[in-house]
Structure 1
Amino acid sequence: MEDGAPRRGTAAALRRAAAAALKNKLQILAGQHSAVLESLPPTVRKCVDALTEIQTKHDEIEANFFKERAELEAKYQKMYEPLYIRRFDIVNNGLVEVDKEADKTQQK
């Protein structure tokens, strides 16, 4: 059991080192991205800016879509719930409620 403690410490140290390396790499890439954008001709830069604005609007619409979809799914989940409960009871407990009118019709 004593062997586990050093491994946990080593694993934690490795995770911290990996996180630091990843953060460093992301900062380098962000700097390169900025440098690349600054080196573009003005007409291309305008296109990139326009495309970035369009993507931002797209992302806002998409976020609203996901929000509304989640609300709609929750609404229908509530409507499905009684059906799921009844199905569970039938499958697992053999419980089937017979409609009295249907039962009378079948007996005639």
Structure 2
Amino acid sequence: MGSVAIYIGAALAEIAGCFAFWAWLRNGQSSWWLIPGMASLALFAFLLTRVDADMAGRAYAAYGGIYIAASLLWLWGAENVRPDRWDMIGAALAIAGACVILFGPRG
């Protein structure tokens, strides 16, 4: 599985896990939401260890751009709020930065 696919899976797992906590604390959902939330956050952490990167910090930095874009997709898909042009510009800049970090030549 390629690094980009792993990052996308990690982003979905992290956002879903964090949203479970949000639903419990902010939306008044049952504390049972925490069980799949914690499992999802554990999956997120596991997936980030599968990225082909020489250093953890570099893997996490590149992941940041993917996370930003995935968060805006979550905003649109799960919360029914369409990202505006400033959201999209910010996501494009973040993805560009992630690509520089992830695919930049290393000597």
| Higher RCO structure (Cα 8 Å, ≥6 apart) | 2
By percentage of residues, which structure has more helix?
Answer: 1
Shorter-chain TM-score: what band? under 0.3
Q: When the two structures are superposed, what TM-score results if normalisation uses the length of structure 2?
A: 0.28
- With normalisation by structure 1, the TM-score equals 0.28
